[in-house]
Chain A
Amino acid sequence: MTVSATTATPTTGEEICLSLENVSISYGGEEAVRNVYCAIPRGQVTAFIGPSGCGKSTVLRALNRMNDLIDNCTLSGRVVFDGADLYHPGVDPVEVRRRIGMVFQQPNPFPKSIYENIAFGARINGYTGDMDELVERSLRQAAVWDECKDKLNESGCSLSGGQQQRLCIARTIAIQPEVILMDEPCSALDPISTLKIEETMHELKKTFTIVIVTHNMQQAVRVSDRTAFFNAEAQEGGSGKVGYLVEFNETDKIFNSPTQQATYDYVSGRFG
């Protein structure tokens, strides 16, 4: 099978927020994902699904230049955000990450107080308003205010895993990005915390564009408007697998009437 590129563009009339144009990413010469074309609409939740090692997290991290932190990671193609290529040499990755925030797979609060976890990011982003108010509003939006309003001075690491993750979401909201990227945000959490975070996402959708990587297909169905299915295939002459985008469409269509056989096999559990 040689699927090299699948173009997927949302129906006209929707505003495109982020678009990947023929993006290939390699780690030290080893190609991880190739020829991705994908246009992510504004104000919606887009889910990336696919088997392990298909490069969906890699693509997600490419959207706010988080891959810059990895040595030897190179990208070709264009990632267009707001009409500009994020990988243009004149673009400052720090500014990109201020406009496109990220929530990671493992909850990673700063080892500082809960208050400072929110305030730190806001401050370095130049927030000069009422900090107490921002902290409360962000924690409320992330649905974790009730659990930590009485211990704002305690360490963020003293919270439970689910609370930590919502704290991390609050921290991301506080920097007021336009897009929030979530890399399997619930994979380390119990079902109740997962549910709370999904409810939070339904709220956040009104303000932010969200891109979420998830292993959990029910989660993709529950939270996302659009779904991109990634797959991996053995590379000709290479040792590892290389990921590619199989199909990108409305979530409803991906799960009920996919056009590709691979998508059908994966969403119906007949994968592999």
Chain B
Amino acid sequence: MPIDPNDLYRLRRRPPSEKQLDTGFHWLTVLTASTVAIVLVLILAIVFHGSLESMGLYGWRFLVTSNWNPVDDEYGALTAIYGTMVTSLVSLLIAVPLGVGTAIFITERFIPRPLREMIGLMVELLAAIPSVVLGLWAIFVLEPALRPFLTWLHFTFKDIPLFSTQPLGPGMTPAILVLVVMILPIITAISRDSLNQVPIRLRQAAYGVGSTQWSAILHVILPASISGIVGGVMLALGRAMGETMAVTMIIGNSNNFSWSLLAPGNTIAAMLANQFGEADGSQVSSLMYAAFVLILLTLVVNILAQLIVKRLSLKY
């Protein structure tokens, strides 16, 4: 007797509960995936809304004046914006070569494996130090130790605006160095991971045509891993721009504008942390405005980085 085809199909029918489970799971993932986006948009909206008052009062003037005076209700965030940009960019300038160099050193067989692993571990431990401890270290150890050198810098290059003030304690330079210590582990760890991900066949190709270790690293391995490295640098930049505790402890929290890296200064994050407690009226709105500027800055930097990565990276 021939088999009824419908019988065969009936065997494969899935129970309704299983289908519901699938649908349920689908919506669960939609929910979890959209949570991040919703939170991000809400934060942006609320910060923007909070800053509307200050935007109306001060407009673009807020970005280019440095008068921060709660008594007269006059606010300009230039000092903090300049401080944020300078501390984060200069700290990157120092930390990127150091971090990428360390990553190359511990991935590319310059030293025996156990030694490499030990250095890698130590870099990761550096990330485990709480920022308040680093701030304390900066105040009591780093800054006093650094001062003679900074004084020398000042007297040698006092015609350059960046070194035009005498170092008198807390200031932007120690803050920059603390930031270097804080972002170095991020850059090193992520660079190391992306260097390790370069396929072995690419390394073999480079060495197989007689590359020296340096030309293999410079012309093949680094270009193949640049997108990951820049990603790590961007994370580090985000951290440097937003870092609050250690910076506010060592930067001096001064709202008087100065080009000098040796002078006390301020960053947006440090200013927010210092002033939110006793702020009222248009000061709150001004702080929100500053926060909004900070978000925009990181956004712009991120987009720029994406464009750079697209041009530089080798697709394998």
Contact = CB atoms under 8 A, between A and B. Distances in A.
A110 B210 contact: no
A124 interface: yes
Interface string A83-113: 0000000000011011001101010111110
A155 interface: yes
Contacts of A64: 208
B202 interface: yes
A112 B219 CA distance: 10
A124 B215 contact: yes
A64 B211 CA distance: 13
A181 to B, nearest CB: 9
B314 A104 contact: no
A128 B314 CA distance: 26
B210 A111 contact: no
A97 B205 contact: no
A104 B205 contact: yes
Nearest to B204: A104
A111 to B, nearest CB: 4
A168 B205 contact: yes
B201 A97 contact: no
B205 A66 contact: no
B90 interface: no
B207 interface: yes
- Interface-centre pick from B201, B205, B219, B224 (highest chain A CB count, 10 A): B205
A110 B219 CA distance: 10
A175 interface: yes
SS class, residues of chain B in contact with chain A? helix
Contact of A94 (B113, B210, B223): B210
B209 A172 contact: yes
A108 B314 CA distance: 14
Interface in A93-142: 94-95, 97-98, 101-102, 104, 106, 108-112, 120-121, 124-125
A192 interface: no
A101 B315 contact: no
Interface in B193-250: 199-213, 215, 219-220, 223-224
A249 B87 CA distance: 71
A38 B219 CA distance: 36
A125 B210 contact: yes
A108 to B, nearest CB: 4
A23 B48 CA distance: 72
A155 B315 contact: yes
A109 B205 contact: yes
Contacts of A108: 199, 201-202, 204-205
Contact of B208 (A71, A95, A97): A97
B219 to A, nearest CB: 7
A157 B315 contact: yes
Nearest to A98: B210
B149 interface: no
Given A71-B113, A120-B219, A157 B316 contact: yes
Interface residues of A, number: 27
A111 B224 contact: yes
A172 B314 contact: no
B205 A124 contact: no
Contacts of B200: 69
A171 interface: yes
- Interface-centre pick from A64, A69, A157 (highest chain B CB count, 10 A): A69
A66 B204 contact: yes
Interface in A138-178: 155, 157, 168, 171-172, 175
B202 A110 contact: yes
A164 to B, nearest CB: 11
A124 B206 CA distance: 10
A88 B210 CA distance: 18
B117 to A, nearest CB: 12
A109 B208 CA distance: 11
A121 B209 contact: yes
Contacts of A155: 315
Interface string B279-316: 00000000000000000000000000000000000111
A183 to B, nearest CB: 10
30 contacts: A66-B207, A69-B203, A71-B109, A94-B210, A94-B211, A94-B212, A94-B213, A95-B210, A97-B209, A97-B210, A98-B209, A98-B210, A101-B208, A101-B209, A104-B205, A106-B201, A108-B202, A108-B204, A110-B205, A111-B223, A112-B314, A121-B211, A124-B209, A124-B210, A124-B211, A124-B215, A157-B315, A171-B209, A172-B209, A175-B209
Give the 10 A-B CB pairs with smallest separation, nearest first: A121-B209, A98-B210, A111-B314, A108-B201, A111-B316, A108-B205, A102-B208, A97-B210, A94-B212, A124-B215
Given A104-B208, A121-B210, 6 more contacts: A66-B207, A94-B207, A101-B208, A124-B212, A157-B315, A172-B208
